[in-house]
Structure 1
Amino acid sequence: MTKLSLTSIAICILAIATLSAHSAEAEKPYLSVEQLRAKYADPAGRITKVGGVEVYYQDEGQGEAILMVHGSQSTLKTWDRLAPLLTKNYRVIRFDIPPQGLSGTVTDEAAARMQVTDIAEGLLKQLGVKQVTYVGVSSGGTLGVFLAAKRPDLVTRLILSNTPAATVTTDHLKPDPVFEAAQREAKEQGVQSQHFWNTFLDYFAGDPQRLNAKIREQYYDVNRRAPEKHYLQFVARVADQEKALDAMSRVTAPTLLIWGGYDALLVPASMDTLAGYLKQAQVSTIMMPDVGHYPPLEAPERFAQLVAAYIEAATPLQ
């Protein structure tokens, strides 16, 4: 697969999503945040403001707090099948990274003023959470690294799933004619169709049949939200390697890496690379060989069991 086809899992769609304003906007199947909220808001969902930015979140269950953060091009619904398995014993908090999902837009003023960790940090403060086990997938895990490095008093454990450690390269990706054709079509038409997202999820899954029609429709819908100027403002990235490596080296929280071994992008060796950069952390690793880039989506029951076991048996708080 060429670099033109997919530059990274974090921003592979962004260039298409922010095509020239001279395109015929009326022909784009965009959805407003209001339309997305009308369709996808959960009865447990709430909206608050952090630093003036609207943040859609869910806060469910009682007990030790767990913060779950999704990756790029996704939402808190990444955890829909997993969170209910943990809320009997834990307080599970999750949110849509602005301006993704059902969270609000990010203004120029907010973008100039706020840092990548501010939303997570501010939300937890509003909710009165003083300590949390942080669980993140893909770039959501990168955010956890930055937060744990900044606030070791806040993040007591770190659970990272298929999280990049270095700038993502794509030379190793295996060609897939169906996915490549869908990408060409999206580039030509200026939109990502449901077919595009089906092929995207198929490519990055260990077993595509695990990702049902509901999940696929959600990906299609949230990724046709009207283009946002500051889409990547609160997406944690490793592109600034000096900053990222510094953060990794300062993490002291016990860390569990749960890896989908069938990930086409972040292959199993990527887990070892990340573990090596977490120099001050006690790192444990678990490989899920049949799962792709999104373990919480593909294997929520198994993932929940691993999270609970790590909290309760491997790293109980003193």
Structure 2
Amino acid sequence: MFGRHGEESRADRPRMVSRRRALSAGGILLGAGVLSARAAGRAPASPPAGDIVPKGIAVDAPWHAKVREAGYVAKTAEIDGVRFGYREGPASGPALVLLHAQQMDWFSYSRVLPALAADYHVFDIDYQGHGGTRTPAGYPMAANRIGADLAALLDSVVGRPAYVTGNSSGGLLAAWLAAERPDLVTAVLLEDPPLFASEYPRIEQTIAYRDFASSHKAIGQHVDDFLLFWIDDSREFFDNNVFPGSNVVLADAVRAQRLLRPGVPVELDIVGNDMIRLFLRGMDHQYDPAFGDAFYRGTWNEGFDHAAALARITAPTMLLHANYSWVDGDILYGAMDQQDADRAMSLLPNGFYQRIDAEHVTHLDAPAQFTAIARSFFPAHP
């Protein structure tokens, strides 16, 4: 299933993977459903005690139910002033830590959580700046501080060496943990992390840099509602790729669902693409734009050199590489191109490589395949 040191298990078929490009590919289906619900004057629904479970949302409600039925419980832990929120599954096997992509939260793993619960003791963590985790004022959004506090959480809550997998920025944090706290990591699966491409000056040639620019502007303008700000800041994109004024429809849909379900992160049924819908959920009063701003300014990676970190990882490491493309020859749509992946593999002392025909958040785009890869890789390295 996977090859060692750069062997590809399938043909390299790059395609565009950015969240914004998924919108133009028909991922977002704007309609009148949520707006008509507000017009009908339905009463707001309160979230049930102990967890946030949206009701009446056809797309994601079944996954909330499946996660609960699999035995996952919402928990919190206080570490050095950071109040971590996470989901813990039943103790079915070795510990497995999940670190989601930037601008998402724990629920992005909902499609794989039930299957993973059968074999592992899963800890699905909202890291700093995301989801239910809260940080003190002035908290430095930098890999070294975030990683150190995550390590302290694993020490306290997991209490033993664990398998670790992270997607995108979560993949960078997984690499940090494997490099800096090898005592906590048995093996690591890096799910399409932006290795090298999120460091300066390369970051300026990525589509992600444009998203980080929105975070930078929001910080400068002291924005309170980042989701609505992001939708408005992206209006030119929506006009060109969905239809003129579609950002207004989306913003109204967000406001309507907030009226109908106060306190519940939005999960808009009118958005047909899972990645986009859960990306919007993650930004709804859960995402701290200071996290993206740190990438924009270059401070996130201060003291965290990707090449040096990879060379220090002694644990078995799977690099899972999703689709990508170069647009107009100079903008990378995706986390890594093939040169980045090859460079990473040349640095990893104990690396394994897998090319996957999937979008950036592979556990959402290809959940069965992601689960199969994890189930093959981790048990091979007890």
Give your verdict on TM over 0.5: yes
* CA–CA distance in structure 2, aligned partners of residues 192 and 137 of structure 1: 31
User: Structure 2 vs 1, CA of residues 129 and 230 (structure 1 numbering), >3 Å: closer, same or farther?
Assistant: same
**Alignment of structure 1 residues 125-140 onto 2, 5 Å:** 125-140=155-170
Partner of residue 25, structure 1:
none
* Structure 1 residue 59: Cα displacement: 1.1
Partner of residue 311, structure 1:
378
Please state if 1:121 is matched with 2:189. Answer: no
Partner of residue 351, structure 2:
283
* CA–CA distance in structure 1, aligned partners of residues 283 and 248 of structure 2: 8
Amino acid in the other structure paired with 1:52: G
* CA–CA distance in structure 2, aligned partners of residues 193 and 225 of structure 1: 19
Check conservation: 1:73, 1:100, Cα contact below 8 A.
Answer: yes
Partner of residue 312, structure 2:
250
**Alignment of structure 1 residues 50-61 onto 2, 5 Å:** 50-61=79-90
* CA–CA distance in structure 2, aligned partners of residues 237 and 80 of structure 1: 31
Paired residue for 1:269, among 339, 345, 348?
Answer: 339
Check conservation: 2:275, 2:365, Cα contact below 8 A.
Answer: no
User: Cα deviations across residues 69-125 of structure 1 (Å, max 9, x unaligned)?
Assistant: 01211111121111211111111111111221122243226879x812133212222
**Alignment of structure 1 residues 1-318 onto 2, 5 Å:** 38=52, 44-61=73-90, 62-108=92-138, 115-168=145-198, 169=203, 171=205, 181-182=237-238, 194=250, 212=272, 216-225=276-285, 228=288, 230-231=290-291, 239-240=301-302, 243-262=305-324, 264-265=333-334, 266-278=336-348, 281-288=349-356, 290-313=357-380, 315=381, 317=382
Partner of residue 23, structure 1:
none
Partner of residue 267, structure 2:
none
User: Cα deviations across residues 198-222 of structure 1 (Å, max 9, x unaligned)?
Assistant: xxxxxxxxxxxxx945654332233
Q: Which structure 2 residue ranges, 5 or more long, are not aligned?
A: 1-17, 20-45, 55-63, 208-233, 252-270, 326-332
* Structure 1 residue 68: Cα displacement: 0.8
* Structure 1 residue 49: Cα displacement: 1.3
* Structure 1 residue 151: Cα displacement: 1.2
User: Structure 2 vs 1, CA of residues 292 and 180 (structure 1 numbering), >3 Å: closer, same or farther?
Assistant: farther
Amino acid in the other structure paired with 2:371: A
The structure with the largest alpha-carbon Rg is 2
* Structure 1 residue 192: Cα displacement: 9.6
* CA–CA distance in structure 1, aligned partners of residues 337 and 239 of structure 2: 22
* CA–CA distance in structure 2, aligned partners of residues 143 and 132 of structure 1: 14
Check conservation: 1:135, 1:160, Cα contact below 8 A.
Answer: yes
3-state SS in 2 of match to 1:165: coil
3-state SS in 2 of match to 1:58: strand
> Structure 1 length as normaliser, TM-score?
0.68
* CA–CA distance in structure 1, aligned partners of residues 239 and 84 of structure 2: 31
3-state SS in 2 of match to 1:292: coil
Amino acid in the other structure paired with 1:217: R
- Identity within the alignment, %: 21
User: Cα deviations across residues 148-205 of structure 1 (Å, max 9, x unaligned)?
Assistant: 11111111101001112214346476xxxx99623999xxx9x99848xxxxxxxxxx
* CA–CA distance in structure 1, aligned partners of residues 98 and 299 of structure 2: 17
User: Structure 2 vs 1, CA of residues 120 and 171 (structure 1 numbering), >3 Å: closer, same or farther?
Assistant: closer
* CA–CA distance in structure 1, aligned partners of residues 248 and 166 of structure 2: 26
- Give me the CA root mean square deviation: 3.7
* CA–CA distance in structure 2, aligned partners of residues 115 and 241 of structure 1: 10
User: Structure 2 vs 1, CA of residues 89 and 69 (structure 1 numbering), >3 Å: closer, same or farther?
Assistant: same
3-state SS in 1 of match to 2:130: coil
Amino acid in the other structure paired with 2:352: S
* CA–CA distance in structure 2, aligned partners of residues 157 and 144 of structure 1: 10
* Structure 1 residue 245: Cα displacement: 2.5
3-state SS in 1 of match to 2:146: coil
* CA–CA distance in structure 1, aligned partners of residues 139 and 93 of structure 2: 37
* CA–CA distance in structure 2, aligned partners of residues 107 and 183 of structure 1: 36
User: Cα deviations across residues 279-304 of structure 1 (Å, max 9, x unaligned)?
Assistant: xx21111111x312111110111101
Q: How many residues align?
A: 256
> Structure 2 length as normaliser, TM-score?
0.57
Amino acid in the other structure paired with 1:107: A
Task: Answer 1 or 2: which has greater helix percent.
Answer: 2
User: Structure 2 vs 1, CA of residues 192 and 268 (structure 1 numbering), >3 Å: closer, same or farther?
Assistant: farther
3-state SS in 2 of match to 1:84: helix
